[in-house]
Amino acid sequence: MQVKQINNNQHIIESQKTVYIKSFGKTIAKIKNGIIYLDRKYWNHLKYKSSHNKIHSISGTDLLGLTPKDIKQMLKSKELILTNLD
């Protein structure tokens, strides 16, 4: 397992098959087998920690590269999955 600290409150945790994105102690996203899972409660709070109206799992790092509109469309088409991660 590898932990990459982005700043004091944000981390990317990588294992062999799964990547977890944590922000302020909460797991906000998980990527496993190419599928992105977003935390049902916290995914929409990401936009408040972002700049340039992009969803940044980690402030200043455009990890997912998706706008809130992109995410809503992908949720509708089931390309992203909302679940309880924390």
pLDDT in tens, 30-65: 889 888 888 888 776 554 444 444 444 443 334 566
Answering whether pTM is above 0.75, one says: no
Euclidean distance between CA atoms 49 and 53, whole angstroms: 10
Give the single-character DSSP code of 43.
G
Amino acid residing at 44: N
Q: Which of 50, 43, 5, 44 is nearest to 27 (CA)?
A: 43
**AA identity, residue 48:** Y
What is the distance between the alpha carbons of residues 27 and 21, in angstroms, rounded to a whole number? 6
Checking if the pLDDT of 80 tops 80, the result is yes
